[in-house]
Amino acid sequence: MNEHRNLTREAARGLSWSGSALLTRTLLNVLVTAALARLLSPREYGVVGAALIVVAIANNIANLGMSQVVIQRSDLEKRHMGTVAFLSLLIAAGLAVLQWVFAGAIADFFRVPELELVSRVLAFSMFANAFNLVAEAALSRNLKFKLSSTANLAAWIIANVGLAIPLAYLGLSYWALVIACIAQAFILAGIYIFAARQYLVRPGFDLQSYRDIRSQSLGFSLTGISTFTAKYIDNVIVARLIGTTELGIYSRSYYLIAMPANLFGNLNKSVVFPILAKVQHDKARLRSAQLKGYALTAALSIPTSAFLCCFAKELVLTVLGPKWMDAVVPITIFSAAIYFRLGYRVCGAVTLATGQSYRTASMALIYMALVASFAFFSAPYGVNVVAFAVSGAIAISFFLYAAITCRMTGLSALDFALVHVPPVAFAAVVFAIGSSVKMLLAGWPDYLVLATGLFVTGTLSVAILYLRASLLFGKYGVKVLQSLTPRKAKWIRFA
């Protein structure tokens, strides 16, 4: 019982710190995106978008799922940690060399000439990225969420606010984003070397340690590579079959909507997964945690989706500017699918925490195949149709994964459905009120319409919390809310 209370307390503390840092980063990200969208063109964003795909591929391969093993394995020793660090850095160094050598071929594949030099420059950040993944895994295993979230936020602010915006203003074009990307990786590595040194282990290869983690890390690696491919394959298809400018529109649309999605999803990765790993052998607690995960995720994301769908045009004009009007339809479509992306991660946290790496990998392969096939066959019809097809593939993947994990934990279909009823009902109210605001304020400046919509829906949300929080969060979501809410917040009525 004491262990359960301690884990609950750690989970609440971790969610509070990570959530605060991610919320701050999301709000700043809106401002940074607004500034950069007015300084850079869709094509310039397309060049960087293609380059970051290459970097992400290398990062996923370099880690080989070993950072998840650091978090999940119950009998992890220092020799395992040293082997993970050694292999991650060694593979990253090799991949950096390959990226440098084949930069020309990469540029030819994407049909983006500028990508050759950009790829070679970004190769230097691979070593730092590999180190950061291992350091974050060590911190998550020790439930040091405050340190990791603060370090990530500091590195992001210095790189994007301190470098990207000034460099773009000075006319460095897409190089402003490239330099910021490299700087963020090395700044974060420097912070970890100094602040997290007590949780790190000197790299060193041990054959027996490698044998201990090889099978499990392979499963996690397959999951990571498949998930990554599913995340970026639509961008690759758009770049290859439609064009760099269209990739800029598509990737910026996804990125803008990914801000709230990542805010909720990263909490799941950095806090929920490590906590679930501690109770992986208790089926009842896993089932309860799964219900709470669905309830909290649905309560936060589904009403957000309704708001974004309603105010997509005003959001684009206010944040990105008039030259990004082609992003309105993709943003509306991506907004509608936010919950499916996040619900999928809740399912993934359950299978990963229980060590079901190959089951997770098989589901990730299905996810990847659906996204790739839907994107490929819809590409001839334009970016809007690709966005719709990919969102449909994500929704199908979520329901398949939910069925599998519910069977694992014994969660009934009725309980699964009922946990979503309050957020869906509230989302319908949000969309109706948002539509009314737009009708009443027709002809007003877009930023005022968006601000009014935010104020009205925010006031409504606070009123719901004051009257009865369960109307939005449901029975299980309220339990999570109670653990996260300070005792001083007595104005919230949970039931």
Q: What is the DSSP string of 98-143?
A: HHHHTHHHHHHHHT-TTHHHHHHHHGGGHHHHHHHHHHHHHHHHTT
Domain ranges of the chain: 2-484
Q: Which has the minimum average pLDDT: 75-89, 341-355, 420-434, 471-485?
A: 471-485
Q: What is the DSSP string of 381-450?
A: G-HHHHHHHHHHHHHHHHHHHHHHHHHHHT--HHHHHHTTHHHHHHHHHHHHHHHHHHHHTTTS-HHHHH
Q: Which residue from 193, 225, 275 is spatially nearest to 63, judged by alpha carbons?
A: 225
Q: Does 75 or 242 have the greater pLDDT score? A: 242
Q: Which residue from 230, 238, 269 is spatially nearest to 366, judged by alpha carbons?
A: 230
Has residue 333 got a pLDDT over 90? yes
Residues 416, 402 contacting (CB under 8 angstroms)? yes
Q: Which residue from 298, 304, 265 is spatially nearest to 423, judged by alpha carbons?
A: 298
Q: What is the DSSP letter of 41?
A: -
Mean pLDDT of 181-191: 92
pLDDT by residue (tens digit) across 374-432? 999 999 888 899 999 999 999 999 999 999 988 888 888 898 998 899 999 999 999 99
- pLDDT for 368 equals 85
Residues 133, 157 contacting (CB under 8 angstroms)? no
Average pLDDT, the chain: 80
pLDDT by residue (tens digit) across 21-50? 666 777 787 788 888 888 888 888 778 877
* Residue 472 CB contacts under 8 Å (≥ 6 apart), including other chains: 299, 303, 422, 423, 426, 461, 464, 465
φ/ψ region of 103 (left if φ > 0, alpha if ψ in -120 to 50, else beta) reads alpha
Residues 428, 307 contacting (CB under 8 angstroms)? no
- pLDDT for 165 equals 92
- pLDDT for 139 equals 79
pLDDT confidence tier of residue 281, bands split at 50, 70 and 90 = low
What predicted TM-score, i.e. pTM, was given to this entire model?
0.70
By CB neighbour count within 10 A (0-12 exposed, 13-18 middle, 19+ buried), where does 429 fall?
A: middle
> Cα separations (Å) of 397 from 259, 285, 421?
21, 25, 21
How far, in Å, CA of 375 to CA of 354, rounded?
Answer: 32
Three-state SS for 76? coil
How far, in Å, CA of 11 to CA of 274, rounded?
Answer: 9
pLDDT by residue (tens digit) across 213-241? 666 666 666 666 666 677 778 888 887 88
> Cα separations (Å) of 104 from 112, 116, 181, 438?
10, 5, 21, 49
Cβ neighbours around 403 below 10 Å, total:
13
Q: What is the DSSP string of 164-177?
A: IHHHHHTT-TTHHH
How far, in Å, CA of 184 to CA of 158, rounded?
Answer: 7
* Residue 241 CB contacts under 8 Å (≥ 6 apart), including other chains: 376, 379, 380
- pLDDT for 10 equals 52
Mean pLDDT of 187-209: 83
- pLDDT for 15 equals 54
pLDDT by residue (tens digit) across 251-263? 878 877 776 656 6
Kindly give the residue spans of alpha helices, DSSP state H, lying in 268-321.
273-278, 283-310, 312-315
